[in-house]
Structure 1
């Protein structure tokens, strides 16, 4: 029977990520934070619309408030999407939810 020796390479220098991968990681985090900030500022601009215009999109002022007061790293757009879809579902089921 033939055996081959297996050795683990536990060199700590070899395990360090390269400068390119660290830079890509930092750029990715900064990009994600920028997108979250931009989404929140766009949702804040929705508050300039009147209630009828918001209801045309399936939203209410409470939905905007909930999205803007969510945790920073949560996607606020998901709150608005969920609220709009729930309201549309209730509408098509014939349930009035004003």
Structure 2
């Protein structure tokens, strides 16, 4: 045997952990996607329930009927409650900005 051994080989055992890790990561990604889609579907049903509320009740939680129509038009995989939260936050910021200008 010489000081420089040019033989290098990859044993199948050294390749398997990397492959297993990639398969596990892919399975987790699919599971996360399924969980996000299920949550979006469940939240969409809850938004439909908001449609049964009166305009005064919607105003109490910072929404309008038009906001509901906007999120109803969104794609199925999009979580409507996140959209409603952004709409409500934007409206609150706009009101606060107006209040600062007046005061």
Q: Above 0.5 in TM-score?
A: yes
The whole-number CA distance in structure 2 between the counterparts of 1:88 and 1:24 is: 37
Unaligned runs of 5+ in 1: none
The whole-number CA distance in structure 2 between the counterparts of 1:8 and 1:75 is: 50
What is the match of residue 38 of structure 1? 42
More helix by share: 2
Change (3 A) 1:75 1:4: farther
What is the match of residue 94 of structure 2? 90
Q: Which has the higher contact order (CA 8 A, sep 6+)?
A: 2
**Higher Rg of the two aligned structures:** 2
In structure 2, the residue corresponding to 1:93 is in which secondary structure?
helix
Q: Deviation above 6 Å: which 4+ runs of structure 1?
A: 2-5
TM-score (norm 1): 0.68
Unaligned runs of 5+ in 2: none
TM-score (norm 2): 0.65
Deviations 1:4-49 (A, max 9, x none): 97x796x7x846447x725544433322221110010011110011
Q: Give the alignment's Cα RMSD to 1 decimal.
A: 3.2
Deviations 1:58-83 (A, max 9, x none): 11111111112101222212221111
